[in-house]
Amino acid sequence: GVTDPVSLADYRALGGFDGLEKAIHRTPQQLVDTVKASGLRGRGGAAFPTGIKWQTVLDAKGAQKYIVCNADEGDSGTFADRLV
């Protein structure tokens, strides 16, 4: 009840884009280093370190790269993450 969950104006007013603003002024390696230092891990059973995945993509040869993300983290038959 604090904000409208589909309002970008509300999101921005609460600092929702602050991280993005910082990120666009960093190099790709600085971004990967930040993710590595954070200890962020995947939510799958292996909890693989996200920074290692990002480093692998950054180090891969090629000018254009693609990341495929399974963003369906909801439980079957529920709408827990429907706004994501």
Span 58-80, pLDDT tens digits? 999 998 888 777 666 566 666 66
Kindly report the three-state secondary structure assignment for every residue of 6-55: CCHHHHHHCCCCHHHHHHCCCCHHHHHHHHHHHCCECCCCCCCEHHHHHH
pLDDT at residue number 66: 82
pLDDT tens digits for the chain (84 residues)? 788 989 999 999 999 999 999 999 999 999 999 999 999 998 777 889 999 999 999 999 998 888 777 666 566 666 666 666
pLDDT at residue number 51: 95
